[in-house]
Homo-oligomer: A and B are copies of this chain.
């Protein structure tokens, strides 16, 4: 017997156009816009569209400004982008996208050095400068991201206590500037989490900061994505980053070690079936998921787009 309470409603924030396309080859701007516009018809409230990052390092995002400028906005949808540096923030500010000023850190120092070119301590220092820039632009901190919250390829597993320390350090940095993020994202950056990690870490940080919202950014690298979502839901998480069709990784395209965020429509299906409202149109999401496959030119890992609802599932098994 297990006892848990599931939330009544979850918010799925779409990462496909941003994190998903970042992991693919070069996709034409028109195709990216087609996906973004399709996603906006599904009930999604937040679509992360682009990264304002170094185009030499991430050439897939060289079209960030063009994408931002050509989005045909639909009411009720926030079209966001991310940045990791002052220069990226300036670009985002000029782009006209909906800004969510963010701060970030990495539990794993080695990951921070390899991915962000700085130690984790330096990253915190950089966040101070970013917060000042946000305030100078009349903005407040909206989100805090904790990368490698559950583990990384270099340092292995991250304990709940280490994750809590990283959250505490990032929140202290915000407090020093009189800021409190609206939500803290625990990011399973490389798909290292298992459900018990999720339960323990979420329970620990929610117990320490009961008034703070904690969200999950999960990758399905090792097949535990939806199980980790379930563990998050059971521990009271009601906001998840997801990507349509599981865009962002394809083990069938010679890119065997990458894997996308948990799949938007598969997470939505699981939630809806368990009585958790998502506000999403699953059939339209499935159509957009198939569009994503067509755009990238290969199969994507999402299951619902192929399996459909229960009544449409195959019954050809003997047992």
Contact = CB atoms under 8 A, between A and B. Distances in A.
A81 to B, nearest CB: 12
Contacts of A311: 153-154, 156
Contacts of A217: 319
Contact of A153 (B197, B270, B303, B312): B312
A86 interface: no
Contacts of A231: 2, 230
Contacts of A227: 226-227, 229-230, 270
Nearest to A299: B252
Contacts of A319: 19, 82, 84, 104, 145, 147, 187, 189, 217
Contacts of A273: 194, 196-197
A263 B223 contact: yes
Contacts of A299: 251-252
A16 interface: no
Contacts of A6: 196
B315 A154 contact: yes
Interface stretch (A64-72, A132-140, A254-262): A254-262
Interface stretch (A29-37, A159-167, A172-180, A199-207): A199-207
Interface in A66-103: 82, 84
Q: Say how many copies of this protein the assembly contains.
A: 2
A10 to B, nearest CB: 14
Interface string A41-52: 000000000010
Nearest to A315: B153
A248 B3 CA distance: 33
A83 to B, nearest CB: 10
A315 B203 contact: no
A121 interface: no
Nearest to A255: B314
Contacts of A318: 19, 22, 51, 53, 58, 82, 84, 115
Contacts of A211: none
A234 interface: yes
A230 to B, nearest CB: 4
Nearest to A276: B196
A201 to B, nearest CB: 12
Interface centre among A154, A256, A299, A317 (most CB of B within 10 A): A317
26 contacts: A1-B207, A2-B5, A2-B234, A3-B3, A19-B318, A19-B319, A104-B319, A114-B315, A153-B312, A154-B315, A157-B310, A189-B319, A195-B270, A219-B317, A222-B307, A224-B266, A224-B269, A227-B227, A227-B229, A227-B270, A230-B230, A251-B303, A252-B252, A257-B307, A257-B316, A259-B307
